[in-house]
Amino acid sequence: MASNPQTDPTLEALVAQKYRHGFVTDIESDTVPPGLDEDVITFISRKKGEPQFMLDWRLRSYRHWLTMKEPHWAHLRIQPIDYQSISYYSAPKPKADAPKSLEEVDPKLLETYDKLGIPLHERARLAGVAVDAVFDSVSVATTFKERLHKAGVIFCSFSEAVQKYPELVEKYLGSVVPYTDNYFATLNSAVFTDGSFVFVPKGVRCPMELSTYFRINAAKTGQFERTLIVAEEGSHVSYLEGCTAPMRDENQLHAAVVELIALEGAQIKYSTVQNWYPGDENGVGGIYNFVTKRGECRGANSKISWTQVETGSAITWKYPSCILTGDNSVGEFYSVAVANNYQQADTGTKMIHIGKNTRSTIVSKGISAGHGQNAYRGLVKVLPSAINARNFTQCDSLLMGDKCGAHTFPYMEVRTPTASVEHEATTSKIGDDQLFYCLSRGISEEDAVNMIVNGFCKAVFKELPMEFAVEAQNLLAVSLEGSVG
């Protein structure tokens, strides 16, 4: 049967979801007044008791940032960001000092996590997942330190790493994303307040999935997280990042930097489920998410794989990338991006092939609903040195309704004749015939949409660790169907 071209009003109603995690925790913050100058940066650095090299690096970054221009993109509609109206440091006031165990953590914080569906105790007990939960800018709880410690794995907040392992931080910080890299990464380098640090020594398989939940809480607070993951020769690590933010009327800037370094034979798997407040149905509020994520397969036979599920943010601008320096190294990118209401997602990846026989795989699934605009932007660059490099790219777009859009911009730059680069792209509308097929089997419209969308994303979801895959499916359900009541 021919499908009906008209938009299904019920489908639209389903798509018009309400954000579930919209609440603000009332905790007195230790916040610097809005504005940015060298004093503020020095304040942050002092506040965190950093060694001189860190402060120097921050200031170098700041001075470089002043010479840079904010980038502009054809496919994003952006309200101008006033960098002087942002407060660059905000920490929840600890009861005494830093909490040494979960019991010492402010019960209100724990309550917040509970509302977000991250009961720390539960997680700790059940899954064997170490959680380094970041609340605003300061890590408030770290579990499973012991077990990791025994294996020789370092997993701590960035601040702690700067204190305890300054030589590691100094060696690797900025070695994949230099402080001069781009406007937002440079800003981050100047003002970042915290984040996570992971170090897996030679030959060690990290005994558990490492997981961090980020959360933006205080009003008008920019978030500048920094994550650094180093996997030494032959080591393995899987890292999970999850985000969800409470409801806000002003747009909030988030400019994180993630650096991954895989030495010879090492494997890093980095998974993100991102659920920041996307703005209301008119596009008001929501998080501006400008993230620089990059991994380098520095050693031969190493592998980095990025998996991301993006359901939130007003604006997402994000290209997790792999630099394949080592011979035979492998880069992977699996992505699901949802753009609903007035959300704008501009995501993709860059695969830079430098070493011989390097391979990369890109699977991108874009879902657009409402007035959402989804753009995939990918660059596959094969340098002359990358003999026999291989890339496979698959980009699929799913449209729900007729007011949304999907755009694909694949760029290829291949400078060796021995390389093979393949690109496949499809765009489909969520079929009325598929929907009706499910309905005629007794399945509700909500479940049916959920089922079809999840089916569309399957190739990406199967790359996620088990517990994350379930969460990702739930998130998709929330972002596309709305929980009734």
Partner 1 sequence: MLTIKNLHALAGEKQVLKGLDLEVGAGEVHAIMGPNGSGKSTLAQVLAGREGYSVTDGSVTYKGKDLLALPPEERAREGVFLAFQYPVEIPGVNNVYLLKAGLNAIRKHRGESEMDAFEFLTLVREKMNLMQMDESFLNRGVNEGFSGGEKKRNEILQMAVLEPALALLDETDSGLDIDALRVVANGVNSLRRQDRAIVMVTHYQRLLDYIEPDKVHVLSDGKIIKSGDKSLALELEKRGYDWVKQEAAA
Ligand X SMILES: Nc1ncnc2c1ncn2[C@@H]1O[C@H](COP(=O)(O)OP(=O)(O)OP(=O)(O)O)[C@@H](O)[C@H]1O
Distance CA 153, CA 114 (A): 28
One-letter identity of residue 220? K
- 394 touching partner 1, by CB under 8 A: no
- 466 touching partner 1, by CB under 8 A: no
Quick one: what does residue 452 bind among partner 1, ligand X, none, with the CB cut-off 5 to 8 Å set by partner type? partner 1
Quick one: what does residue 455 bind among ligand X, partner 1, none, with the CB cut-off 5 to 8 Å set by partner type? partner 1
Distance CA 225, CA 194 (A): 5
Angle between helices 38-47 and 52-66 (to 10 degrees): 150
Q: Least CB distance from residue 7 to partner 1, whole Å?
A: 11
**Interacting stretch for partner 1, rule CB under 8 A, among 158-166, 283-291, 374-382, 425-433?**
425-433
Which lies closer to partner 1 via its Cβ, residue 411 or residue 437?
A: 437
- 444 touching partner 1, by CB under 8 A: yes
- 2 touching partner 1, by CB under 8 A: yes
Residues 6-65 that bind partner 1 (CB under 8 A): 6, 8
By three-state DSSP, how is residue 70 classified? coil
- 164 touching partner 1, by CB under 8 A: no
The answer for 63, left when phi > 0, alpha when psi is -120 to 50, beta otherwise, is alpha
- 96 touching partner 1, by CB under 8 A: no
**Interacting stretch for partner 1, rule CB under 8 A, among 229-237, 348-356, 384-392, 453-461?**
453-461
- 402 touching partner 1, by CB under 8 A: no
Q: What is the DSSP string of 371-386?
A: T-EEEEEEEEEE-TT-
Which lies closer to partner 1 via its Cβ, residue 3 or residue 483?
A: 3
Quick one: what does residue 8 bind among partner 1, ligand X, none, with the CB cut-off 5 to 8 Å set by partner type? partner 1
Buried b (16+ CB within 10 A) or exposed e, 26-65: ebebbbbebebeeebbeebbeebebeeebbebbebbbebb
Task: Single out the residue of 226, 348, 342 nearest to residue 286, CA to CA.
Answer: 342
- 424 touching partner 1, by CB under 8 A: no
Task: Single out the residue of 389, 319, 302 nearest to residue 354, CA to CA.
Answer: 389
Quick one: what does residue 172 bind among ligand X, partner 1, none, with the CB cut-off 5 to 8 Å set by partner type? none
Within 10 angstroms of residue 483's Cβ, the number of other Cβ atoms is: 11
Q: Least CB distance from residue 1 to ligand X, whole Å?
A: 6
One-letter identity of residue 393? T
Which lies closer to partner 1 via its Cβ, residue 205 or residue 458?
A: 458
Q: Least CB distance from residue 4 to ligand X, whole Å?
A: 7
**Interacting stretch for partner 1, rule CB under 8 A, among 115-123, 152-160, 198-206, 455-463?**
455-463
Q: Least CB distance from residue 438 to partner 1, whole Å?
A: 7
Quick one: what does residue 84 bind among partner 1, ligand X, none, with the CB cut-off 5 to 8 Å set by partner type? none
CB nearest ligand X: which residue?
A: 2
Q: Which of 23, 73, 411, 437 binds partner 1 (CB under 8 A)?
A: 437
Quick one: what does residue 444 bind among ligand X, partner 1, none, with the CB cut-off 5 to 8 Å set by partner type? partner 1
Which residues contribute to the site for ligand X (CB under 6 A)? 1-2
Which lies closer to partner 1 via its Cβ, residue 92 or residue 366?
A: 366
Which lies closer to partner 1 via its Cβ, residue 116 or residue 452?
A: 452
Distance CA 101, CA 300 (A): 40
Which lies closer to ligand X via its Cβ, residue 2 or residue 466?
A: 2
Can you point out the beta strands (E) in 311-452? 315-318, 321-324, 330-339, 344-353, 359-369, 373-382, 390-400, 405-414, 420-429
CA distances, 1 to each of 6, 82, 431 (Å): 15, 53, 11
Q: Least CB distance from residue 365 to partner 1, whole Å?
A: 10
The residues with which 267 forms a beta bridge, in sequence order, are 236, 303
Task: Single out the residue of 335, 269, 257, 326 nearest to residue 296, CA to CA.
Answer: 326
Burial class (CB within 10 angstroms; exposed 0-12, middle 13-18, buried 19+) of 201: middle
Q: Least CB distance from residue 3 to ligand X, whole Å?
A: 8
Task: Single out the residue of 322, 153, 181, 302 nearest to residue 239, CA to CA.
Answer: 153
Q: Least CB distance from residue 244 to ligand X, whole Å?
A: 43
Count the site residues for partner 1 by CB under 8 A.
Answer: 29
The residues with which 259 forms a beta bridge, in sequence order, are 228, 294
Residues making contact with partner 1 (CB under 8 A): 1-4, 6, 8, 431-434, 436-445, 447, 451-452, 454-459
